[in-house]
Structure 1
Amino acid sequence: MALRIEDYALIGDRRTAALVGRNGSIDWLCLPRFDSAACMAALLGSEEHGHWQIEPAGEYESSRRYLSSSSVLETTFRTATGTVTLTDLMPRGDGRADVVRRVRGVEGTVRLCLQWRVRMEYGQVVPWVRREEIGGEQVITAVAGPDLLVLRGPRLPTARDHTHNDEFDVEAGEELTYSMAWMPSHRRVEHLGELDDRIRQTIDQDEDWAQLCRTDLRHPEAVKRSLLTLRLMTHEATGGIVAAPTTSLPEAFGGSRNWDYRYCWLRDAALTLASLLEAGYSDEAMLWRDWLLRAVAGDPHDVQVMYAVDGARRLEEYELDHLPGYEDSRPVRVGNAAVGQLQHDVIGEVMDALERVRGATDEADPNAWALQTALLSGLAENWREPDSGIWEVRGEPRHFTHSQAMVWVAFDRAVRAVEEHGLEGPVEEWRRIRDEVREEVLTRGYDEERGTFTQHYDTDEVDASLLVLGAFGLVDGDDPRMLGTIRAVEEDLMRDGLVLRYRTSSGVDGLDGDEHPFLACSFWLVEAYAEAGRMEDATALYDRLVGLANDVGLYAEEYDPATGRMVGNFPQAFSHLTLTQAAFALARNSNSPSAPR
C-alpha cells in the first residue's frame, strides 16, 4: 500500500521525475519523460505494480532532507544497531535517464533489504529480465517493447517470481552505489559511464541556480524550494512545465476526481514565467517564453489549454482499469479530456506574461508580437462565448467572471504594448473590446446586493479565482468591490481557515463528490489580503501555509485540515508558484497601511 502523499519526496533530472517514500521506496517513476508510461506504479496500486525499495530489515526511524539547495534527497535510517544514509538523485548531464541510489554506513552495522520490481506500462507488463555483461561489468537488464532498463550495483539482487531481492549488512564508512539507466531497447549498450562527475555536476547546477534567488522575502527558504521544485518539473530540452509529475492522486480519497497532470498548461507556464521574472531569473523566463511561443504556434483558433512537454497536441483521456488507484480512488486516468475545452482566461495569462517579459528585458521579439496579435484576433471573435473556466468544469459552459476578466487582461496588455513599447496593431479595436468587456464584468459579474464579484454571470455564488482580479488590475486591490469579494470568499469558501475553489454542492462542475481546500486559492487569499492592505491577515495566513508543507518543503494540490493530510497530485506546480507570488505580494505591500476588514 502506498504511503501518505506527504510522505513522498521528489527527485528528477528535468526530463522526468520519481517519488521516493520516507521508507526508501520509489513508488512512482515514468521513463524517459514525465508523461511516459510508469515502470514503477506502486503509488496507484501495490508493490506488484512496480517499485524499488531500500530499507532496514528491522524497525527503524527515518528522517530526510534535500542536500543544500539541490534536488538530491538524503534519507537517514536509524536502527537499534546503527545508522545509514540513502542518497537518491537523477543526475543530469548526458540526456540519459538514470536513477542513482547511494547507501553509506554512518555508525554501527545496519542490515538492509533491497527489492527491485519493474513493471512496464503502469504496472501491467512484466519485462524480460536477465543478467549480462556490459563493458566488463555484470548488470541486470529488463526489456519490454521500446524500453530497456539496466541495473548496476556492487551486489546484484537475485530473482524470484519476477522480483529481485537482496539482504546485506552495511558497516560504518562503507558505501554502495546502485543505479538504473533507461535507454531505447534497440540501442546496443557498450559502456554505462561514470556516475560521480554527473552527481557532482547535478548538485553544483542546482546550488548555482539557487544562489540567484531573492532573499528579501518572508520565508526565503520556502520560496527557494518552490522555485527549485518548479525548475525540477520543467522539461530541460523544451522548457515546458508539467502541472505535476503524477496522475490520479485523488482530490478526495476513494473518490473519482482523479486527473492526469503530467502535461503543460499554458496557464501554469505563463504564471511560472511571471514568478521567475520577479524572482530574478530572466534567462529562465525566456526559456519558458520560447516554449509558450512554440506551443501556441499555428492557427489561433486551434490553441489548446495544454500540450505534452514536446508540444504534442493529442492527449486523449482513457482509464487504466487494472490499477486500483491511490487508496482505492478510481478511475486512474491517462490523458486529459480538458485539452479540448474553451478556456478564455488562458489567453489573458499568456498576454500578461509576455508583456512582463517585454517590460523586464526590453526585448522586442517580432515573432512573439506576431503570435500575440494572432491570438487576440481569435479571442476577438469568440470572447462572448461561454467557456469551461479556469477550473475546467465538465458541466455546462458558462460566462465565468474570472474568464471574462482575463479577456480584459488580454486586450489591456495589448493596448499597453502599443502605447508603451511602440508596437503596431489595431489598437482602437482593442481599446473598444477592452472597455466593453470591463463594463460587462463590472455589471453582470458583480452582485450589488452582496457587494461581491460572482463565479459566473447570473448567480450569487462566489469562486476563489475572483481573488486575483485586483492583482491583474481589473480594479484596485483595495477597491470596495474587491474588499466585498474577499469577505464573501471568507464567508462561503473558508474551511478551517483555508480556501475552497468553489462550492461543489452548486453542481457547476458537473462532477460527483467533494474536494478539500485548494492550496493555490489560499495563497491567492494571502495576495488579496496584501493588496487590500490587510497585512496582518496576509502574514498570518502565509505563515500557516508555509507550515503546511511536508518535511522537505513540498505541496500537493489540496490539503485536508481535518486529517492533516495532503490531497491531489503531488507536487503541484500551481501550489508552489502561488506561494512565490504570495511572497512577492507581501514584499511589495509590506509598507502599506492596514485597511479595515
Structure 2
Amino acid sequence: MPERDAPRIADHGLVGDLRTAALVATDGTIDWFCPGRFDAPSVFASVLDPDAGAWRLGPDDPEARSQQYYHPETNILVTRFMTERGVVEVQDFMPVLRAHDPDHHQRLVRRVVGLRGSVDLYMHMAPRPDYGETDPDLDVHDGVVRFADGDVHLALSSTADLEVEDHAATARLALGAGEAVLFVLEVLAPGEESRGCCEDDVEELFDATAAFWRGWLAQSTYTGRWREWVDRSALTLKLLCHEPSGGIVAAPTTSLPETIGGSRNWDYRYVWVRDAAFSVYALLRLGFTDEASAFVRFLSERLGEAADDGDEAERLGPLRVLYDLDGGIPHERELDHLAGHRGSRPVRVGNQAVDQLQLDVYGELIDSVYLYDKHSRGISHDAWTDLTRIVGWLTDNWDRPDAGMWEIRGEPRTHTTSLVMCWVAVERMMRIARRRGLPGDLSALAATRDAIYERVMTDCWNDELGAFTAFAGGDVLDAGTLLMPMVKMVAPDDPRFLSTLAIVEERLVTDSLVLRYDAETFDDGVGDGDGDEAGEGTFSLCSFWYVEALTRSGRLDDARLALEKMFTYANHLGQYAEQVGLNGEQLGNFPQAFTHLSLVSAVINLDRSLSR
C-alpha cells in the first residue's frame, strides 16, 4: 500500500445522508466519519491524526494520478484514478432515498468501476472508534466484517473477499474494464443484521440517491450567471442539514486549524444559531422552504426549554449561542491523545462559546424568522409569543458587553456588530407585527430601536478614522461592519458607510480576500504568545460580504472581479473551508456553511444588479 502524506484540508470532498457526513480525500481515503450523526465520536479521523482511523481504497500504485468531481447535480462523489495500466473510479455516496424517510438505513457506499485496462486495487479499512482511542476487535462471519463503536455497531460487506488483520479489514484485487466491486459500511443497531450488498441493490441505491439530490436541487429558483457555483453551495448547505432535528451544523468537522501548527482549532459540528439563521436566509432566497420550516421548529423547541432555564437564561439570554443536535449544551474538552491536523493542537470536542453571551444572534435569528414569515407559511402564535419574550429580554440587555460574533475569549466588550444586530432584531419584530397585525407594544419597540441606532451612530463611529469601528469608543476595524447596508441599518451610499468601506479596503483587504479584523490590535483572547493571532488567514465569508458591499454601493465591475477572484480560492469541487492562508491554502473546518451561504447572497445580489 503506497505511503501517504498528510492530506490538506482542501483535498477532500464531502458525502452525507442528512444525518452525518464523511470526508473523502483525493487519494480515495475516507479521513473523517462520525457514524450516526455529525456530533458523534468519529470512527475515521486520520485528518486529525494518521493513527486515528481511515478507510483507504485505490490503486496499488504510488504513481497513480487522481481527479474528483461530483456526479452532476448530486452529492455523489467520484474519484478517478489514472495509472499506467488503466483507469478506475471510486463512487462514494451515502444513500438518501426520500425526504424524511422513516425507514432510513445509514450506509456508506463505495463502488469501484473499471473503465480502461486492468488496475490492481487495495482496500484497507482501519476503524478507530471514539476519536481514535479504541482498536476494535473485528469479527468476520459469512464474509461480513463487524465491529462495535459504543452503542453503534458497524458492518462492512463487499463483493470482494475480505480479510482481517491487525484491527483492520483488507482486500486486494485486479479490476478490468467493465468490472465493478462494492464495499458497503452499514451503521446498525445492536443485534441488527447486516443487509449485505450486491450490484443490483447498489445500482438502485445510486439511482435513487441521484434522483433525490436532483429533485431537491430542481426546487432552486436561481437561474443566473453563476448557476454552477450556487448549485454546489446549495448542495453543500443541504449536506449540513440534520434532517431528524431540523438543525444545521456550522461544519461537519472539528479542530481543522485556522493556522497550521496553531491552537485555533474549534469544533463546528453543532448548530450555531447565527450560522444556521444565515443558512436559512440563503436557502429561502433560493426557494428552499422545507429547511427553513425545520429550523424554525428546532428553534421553537430551544425557546420552550429556555423558559425553564432560570438564572442561566438571565445571564446568557434565552438562547445559547450553539446547541448539539439534541438541543443540549456541548461543553468543550481537549483530546490529548490526538496529534492534530499536521501537528495543530489541541484537538477539541464541544465548544466553549456555548457559555458566552453573544447578542448578535438575536438579530440573525429574528431576521431569518421574518424572512420565513414573509416567504413561507408564516409563524404560529406560539412562535410569536416566544419571540416577544426574547425581544423583551433583549430590550433590557442590548447594551451589555458581550463576546461578539467572533466569539472573543477575553473580556466582554461592546461590539458594534452586536449592537447592529440587536437593532435588526427589534426592527424586524416591528415589521412582522405590522405586516401580520400581531400584538406588541410598537411604541416601546420603536424607542429601543432608536436608542440602539443612536448608540451605533455616536459611540461606534470614529470621526478621526472615518469609519465604524469594532467596538464602541474604539479605533479597531472589523469587517463585520460590511453587514450594515445588507441588514438595512444604513444606506449603501451613505457617506459613513462608503468611508468605512474605503478604510476596510485599505487595511483589511488584499486581492479580494478580507481579514475579519486586524488581529494584532483586536485582541480576541485566544492568542498564546506564539504569533498565532498575527498569522490568521482571511475569512472567506468576509470576502463574500465585501463582494456584496461593493455591489450595493454601485461598484459592480469591482464586485464582479472580486467574486471571480474568490472563485479561484475554492477547492477543486467548488467548496470552501473557513479561511484562506497567506499561501492560498484553505484553513479551518471544512466545508463551512457560513462561507457558502455568503457566496449565495453575494452572487444573487450581484446578478440582480447586473441585470437591471
The bucket for the TM-score relative to the shorter chain is over 0.9
CA deviations on 1:269-296 (whole Å, 9 max, x unpaired) are 1111111111112233222222222233
- Whether 1:565 and 2:588 are equivalent positions in the alignment is no
- Whether 1:174 and 2:179 are equivalent positions in the alignment is yes
Partner residue, 1:299: 306
One-letter amino acid of the counterpart of residue 132, structure 2 = G
- Whether 1:347 and 2:362 are equivalent positions in the alignment is yes
CA deviations on 1:525-550 (whole Å, 9 max, x unpaired) are 01111111111111111111122211
Partner residue, 1:595: none
Partner residue, 2:27: 23
**Greater mean alpha carbon deviation, residues 453-462 or residues 194-203:** 194-203
Change (3 A) 1:219 1:383: same
**Greater mean alpha carbon deviation, residues 221-230 or residues 300-309:** 300-309
Partner residue, 1:516: 537
Equivalent-residue separation in structure 1 for 2:48 and 2:377 (angstroms)? 47
Choose the corresponding residue for 2:128, options 119, 132, 137: 119
Partner residue, 1:477: 492
Contact kept? 2:140, 2:164, Cα under 8 Å: no
**Greater mean alpha carbon deviation, residues 580-589 or residues 113-122:** 580-589
Equivalent-residue separation in structure 2 for 1:480 and 1:10 (angstroms)? 43
Equivalent-residue separation in structure 1 for 2:350 and 2:290 (angstroms)? 31
Choose the corresponding residue for 2:602, options 578, 582, 585: 582
Equivalent-residue separation in structure 2 for 1:38 and 1:299 (angstroms)? 30
One-letter amino acid of the counterpart of residue 541, structure 1 = A
CA deviations on 1:39-61 (whole Å, 9 max, x unpaired) are 00100010x21111111111211
For normalisation by structure 2, the TM-score amounts to 0.93
One-letter amino acid of the counterpart of residue 221, structure 1 = E
Choose the corresponding residue for 1:434, options 436, 445, 449: 449
- Whether 1:539 and 2:560 are equivalent positions in the alignment is yes
Equivalent-residue separation in structure 2 for 1:472 and 1:457 (angstroms)? 19
Aligned counterparts, 1:199-348, within 5 A: 199-299=206-306, 301=313, 302-312=318-328, 314-348=329-363
- Whether 1:109 and 2:118 are equivalent positions in the alignment is yes
What's the offset of the Cα at 1:576? 0.4
Partner residue, 2:100: none
What's the offset of the Cα at 1:377? 1.2
What's the offset of the Cα at 1:196? 3.5
CA deviations on 1:323-378 (whole Å, 9 max, x unpaired) are 00001000000000100111111001111111111221362421221111011011
Could you tell me which runs of 5 or more consecutive residues in structure 1 were left unpaired when the two chains were aligned. Answer: 593-597
For normalisation by structure 1, the TM-score amounts to 0.95
Could you tell me which runs of 5 or more consecutive residues in structure 2 were left unpaired when the two chains were aligned. Answer: 98-102, 308-312
**Greater mean alpha carbon deviation, residues 242-251 or residues 414-423:** 414-423
Change (3 A) 1:190 1:39: closer
What's the offset of the Cα at 1:217? 2.6
What's the offset of the Cα at 1:508? 2.3
What's the offset of the Cα at 1:496? 4.0
One-letter amino acid of the counterpart of residue 355, structure 2 = G
How many equivalent pairs are there? 584
CA deviations on 1:143-177 (whole Å, 9 max, x unpaired) are 24312110000223322222222221001110111
Partner residue, 1:160: 165
Partner residue, 1:497: 512
Give the secondary-structure state (helix, strand or coil) at the position aligned to 1:297. Answer: helix
Contact kept? 2:120, 2:173, Cα under 8 Å: yes
Partner residue, 1:464: 479
Computed over aligned residues only, the root mean square deviation of the Cα atoms, in angstroms, reads: 1.5
Equivalent-residue separation in structure 1 for 2:495 and 2:341 (angstroms)? 44
What's the offset of the Cα at 1:197? 2.8
Contact kept? 2:334, 2:348, Cα under 8 Å: yes
- Whether 1:83 and 2:87 are equivalent positions in the alignment is yes
